[in-house]
Chain A
């Protein structure tokens, strides 16, 4: 359950940003969790609720953005969408796919007071 560590990192970033951008409370967090990232969004949402208790983000709304996985098919020399790691190329059926995007885990924006 490394989502607990990820949620703790999110809170640390919120605390740093609170000092840097002078706010006291976080109402909402826009979080980008790519379809191929090392993270289960539901587990992260659960952990976020737990670790934000007693912090500046207690009760904050978590808005998850889910950019799809992207890859480059080596056989077809074409950019393709990748739903899951290990899936074949949707165009040619080859498994020679290098992941090029959709593995990000990033805090985009906040709503704060």
Chain B
């Protein structure tokens, strides 16, 4: 049985016992109930996505604890995410361990394509589902055997609407947009762009053939998230890909520095505690 969520057997209710609960009251002595046909009123105050968010929090702390940089990639179908991931794993081979989680409604074509580059990949088929959730991804990563201090790339289902609300526990969210899709896409799909840490404009080699204004697209993306970072590249020709790799290296460096600082603080605390103990234990 899964120790995090209790899935796969036993009583799933056990897991729920540890959940913090924002209110503290017994059964209602409800003033609205008038003894007639009306039921009693009870206060709930629960986020609908609370369960997903709990799994996401577990994923985040697990991955951060392992120094693993997790990126959640969102885009429309056909924006070139898989090509970008294949180019990324090829370029980083020998520098850093990469593992990929592929989300698609069906088939393992994308995971097969990534595995062909020599990178560990696992496919999640969502069936009728339109997005990945934190529970699925947490388990997928367990089966993947991804190395500590590596890079975990999660390719969400090609869809700019549904995945937006589901935190997977990623360190950063990347929205990929290709120039064949139109520069007004951020305004058309605001939910995804509003949650983006980085917007990647892909297929810039096709700019001469399409009516796409890169600056306008970036301006629209900033309307939804003023502080969003942006990159432009072509995963096919390799133009601009180095900037993307540098962005990954920088984010990974930040994550590892934060991890080092947390470990140093803990080490100092443990040494302090041991020092006190020795001081007390010494007879003279």
Contacts and interface: CB of A to CB of B under 8 A. Distances in A.
B45 A112 contact: no
A41 to B, nearest CB: 12
B-side binding surface: helix, strand, loop or mixed? mixed
Contact of A113 (B39, B187, B190): B39
Contacts of A84: 190
B228 to A, nearest CB: 11
A35 to B, nearest CB: 12
A12 to B, nearest CB: 7
Contacts of B133: 5
A5 to B, nearest CB: 7
Contact of B45 (A10, A22, A27, A108): A108
Nearest to B164: A38
A108 B42 CA distance: 9
Nearest to A85: B190
Contacts of A25: 39
Interface string A74-85: 100000000011
Nearest to A23: B42
B46 A107 contact: yes
Contacts of B21: 20
B47 A104 contact: yes
Contacts of A98: 226
Interface in B15-54: 16, 21, 27-28, 32, 38-52
B245 interface: no
Contact of A108 (B13, B44, B187): B44
A85 B165 contact: no
Contact of A107 (B32, B48, B52): B48
A13 B32 CA distance: 23
Nearest to B26: A21
Interface string A6-39: 1001101100110111110101100100000111
Interface string B47-77: 1111110000000000000000000000000
Given A111-B38, A111-B39, A112-B42, A95 B48 contact: no
A97 B38 CA distance: 44
B140 interface: no
B138 interface: no
Contact of A97 (B40, B52, B187, B226): B226
A44 to B, nearest CB: 9
B129 interface: yes
Interface of B: 13, 16, 21, 27-28, 32, 38-52, 129-131, 133, 161-166, 186-187, 190-191, 194, 219-220, 222-224, 226
Per CB-CB distance, the 6 closest pairs between chain A and chain B, nearest first, are A38-B165, A2-B162, A85-B190, A95-B223, A105-B48, A113-B39
